[in-house]
């Protein structure tokens, strides 16, 4: 996986960073819940990955187009 493939999906690197870190936290919560056999409000990873690192899995999800963001309109004050 290359950074260029990720930048093609999401142009802004700051949005990419925030999106990946939030999803990585969700994946970590999901894996911890599975480990202790608890319910979790987050979905399981959307891709099959060889990695066990949540951030890597999050980047793979973004690269495959499984995770995206919707930009909201800014209101005028």
Domain residue ranges of the chain, discontinuous segments joined by +? 3-63
- Name the pTM for this structure: 0.80
Closest by Cα among 68, 73, 70 to 8: 68
Q: Which residues contact 34 (CB under 8 A, 6 or more apart)?
A: 40
Q: Calculate what percentage of the chain has a pLDDT beyond 90.
A: 32
Paired tokens of 35: 């480990």
**pLDDT tens-digit series, residues 33-65:** 888 888 888 888 999 989 899 999 999 999 888
46: three-class secondary structure by DSSP? coil
């Amino acid at each position: 996986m290359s950074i260029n493939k990720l930048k093609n999906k999401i142009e802004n690197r700051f949005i990419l960073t925030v999106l990946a870190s939030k999803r990585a936290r969700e994946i970590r919560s999901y894996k911890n819940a599975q480990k202790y056999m608890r319910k979790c409000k987050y979905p399981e990873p959307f891709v099959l990955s060889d990695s066990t690192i949540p951030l890597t899995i999050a980047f793979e999800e973004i690269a495959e187009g499984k995770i995206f963001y919707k930009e909201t309109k800014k209101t005028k004050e």
